[in-house]
Chain A
């Protein structure tokens, strides 16, 4: 262990970043991992330089994606990164590139922001008409001329789902296997276990859309 190695907290203190943010940078390949694992994990000095450069880039240009920063850092030697971190070289040269200047924010960033400020839709906020309209004393799935058509559509959805899942994973849960979740309503979600290709994910979403319509239809009559 080199004497200038730092703990996660020391990195956080010196860069103003949250420890969990720093960990996520390690996971995304922006920083080298710690020299050792556990509570006493130590990070090389280069990590501090990289984080300082990352902060400088973000200060100079908003909306630069982490992927872009990772690519920029990959192209630099440790000496160049240190020069940038210590202000010996102007950071503008790195980020004053022609368009496209940066990647867009992460797609889920808006959702994360809303959750951070406490916006989250619990079931009680779902429109009363969906649950308490003139069908309040009626069965949840009302009998009407369109019912057989919808049951038929539900069967199609179930068949499509079974076909999709049957093609992708074993029936036994495997530790660490991925669950793919699609919110249908604020209190119901479709969770499917397995690894999926983009086309299959698109199909899952189409199934989710159909289920959502069926659910909405069922309770709003």
Chain B
């Protein structure tokens, strides 16, 4: 086992604490060893008292006003927008866009002084629902408002878009990969996006793609009354974010395969492996588990691994980094590998992330209509998972859930149940809290009923 810590050393920068652990550091000379790297990041705590002047916020609120939002959901979204207006300060700017078939701009970077707040309230009040859903057009128009204000601003500000939608995008650009690319490019340019999914019957694929690559967060607000609390919670999280666009760079030993457990976006180029973790709020912790698969090697051969992190402070002026962490694997005969003990805490973190990974990946395949692949993946991973958890206390619920989940993975899940499984596993893999005040049951509450047991 090996644990390495690092933190940013520049006194002028926010201190991000980074540590990395291996569940085991011996790998089999015969090849095929799987080892887990657990990276933990802890965001710096915002020391400023709540009442002191904070960084200005340049906020874009994008509201789905399509036909499916008519009635209580849209009224709740408008109430949430009113709540946002009341929460903003005179140094903040607000843009409001709604979208149906067409995107409409209601407010373009208006300063939230008294007059501005009045103007914003007047702009939001008459908002009404209309026809189909061009989510992409609405979102990008909201980004444009924020970017325009960003370009004109004399002071640095947090530039953030909150997109509220029931997720039934059926017009314009709907491809999650394209939305992801736009979100990524805009994040790189300082405009971040968080998303709030509304209602029961939506697929979070598009909203997750935008939030994940956009460096923000994804929330769910199933009931109209939850929309207000979720939007205000997101606003609060945006304001207490201390790390933006956190990326981890791994320099891997040659021939080692890497796979992220969870939903974090990753890319590989030669021996470099990059993972985007996005934003973190003050003092938040995040675990990332990376599965590493090794080729054969020579006894006592050393395999170095380097982990580095870079990020920005919100609206900050520089890309920050901390001292890279150095870890090492060592090749040994199979017997030595088998007898090697593993760190229980690390193994537990691996199990938690792995469980969320299986649930999320399986449900994504299920909702994509790839039933055979979903079932095969769930069955195979569940077997490995159970084997890994042997001797690890407190894992019974995870294994029970997977035992029940895997056989049902080949049958199409209802959208509302699938959404809960996807959202729960997404939040779990990111260590984020479910902000909904009405708590839902465990995973099993969203699985099909078990067939009655037959006695032989």
Contacts and interface: CB of A to CB of B under 8 A. Distances in A.
Interface of A: 62-63, 98-105, 107-111, 113-114, 117, 119-121, 125-130, 133-134, 153, 182-183, 185-186, 198, 201-202, 205-206, 209-210, 212-213, 216-217, 220-221
A58 B10 CA distance: 24
A122 to B, nearest CB: 10
Contacts of A206: 111
Given A99-B13, A99-B318, A121 B154 contact: no
Q: Is the interface of B mostly helix, strand, loop or mixed?
A: mixed
Given A99-B321, A110-B150, A130-B106, A105 B123 contact: no
B147 A108 contact: yes
A166 B104 CA distance: 37
Contact of B105 (A98, A186, A210, A217): A186
A104 B154 contact: no
B281 to A, nearest CB: 21
Given A121-B141, A129-B106, A198-B154, A101 B116 contact: no
Nearest to A102: B319
Contacts of A198: 154
Most B CB within 10 A of own CB, among A62, A98, A100, A107: A100
Contact of B190 (A110, A130, A212, A216): A110
B256 interface: no
A198 B153 CA distance: 11
B56 to A, nearest CB: 12
B144 interface: yes
Counting from the closest, the 6 A-B pairs by CB-CB distance are A100-B318, A110-B189, A110-B147, A108-B151, A111-B147, A127-B104
Interface in B316-372: 316-322
A102 B316 CA distance: 11
B190 A105 contact: yes
A120 B144 CA distance: 8
Max count, chain A CB within 10 A of own CB: residue among B9, B146, B148, B320: B148
Interface residues of B, number: 54
Given A117-B140, A205-B154, 4 more contacts: A63-B319, A105-B189, A105-B190, A220-B123
A217 B120 CA distance: 9
Contacts of B13: 99-100
B122 interface: yes
A125 B105 contact: yes
B152 A205 contact: yes
B188 A63 contact: yes
Interface of B: 8-10, 13, 98, 102-111, 113, 115-116, 118-119, 122-123, 126-127, 140-141, 143-148, 150-154, 159, 182, 185-186, 188-191, 310, 312, 316-322
A170 to B, nearest CB: 25
Contacts, number: 147
Contact of A127 (B105, B146, B148, B185): B105
Nearest to A123: B105
A108 B190 CA distance: 9
A208 to B, nearest CB: 8
B154 A202 contact: yes
B325 to A, nearest CB: 15
B190 A119 contact: no
Nearest to A111: B147
Nearest to A212: B110
A117 B105 CA distance: 19
Contact of A128 (B104, B141, B143, B320): B104
Given A101-B319, A109-B190, A114-B144, A221 B110 contact: no
Q: Which residue, A110, A121, A125, A206, has most C-beta atoms of chain B within 10 A?
A: A110
Contacts of A210: 115
13 contacts: A63-B319, A100-B318, A101-B310, A109-B190, A111-B147, A114-B143, A125-B102, A125-B103, A205-B154, A209-B110, A212-B109, A213-B116, A217-B115
Contacts of A209: 110-111, 113, 116
Nearest to B117: A213
B123 A113 contact: no
A117 to B, nearest CB: 7
Contact of B312 (A104, A107, A127, A213): A104
B123 A127 contact: yes
A138 B261 CA distance: 60
Contacts of B119: 213, 216-217, 220
Contacts of A134: 126
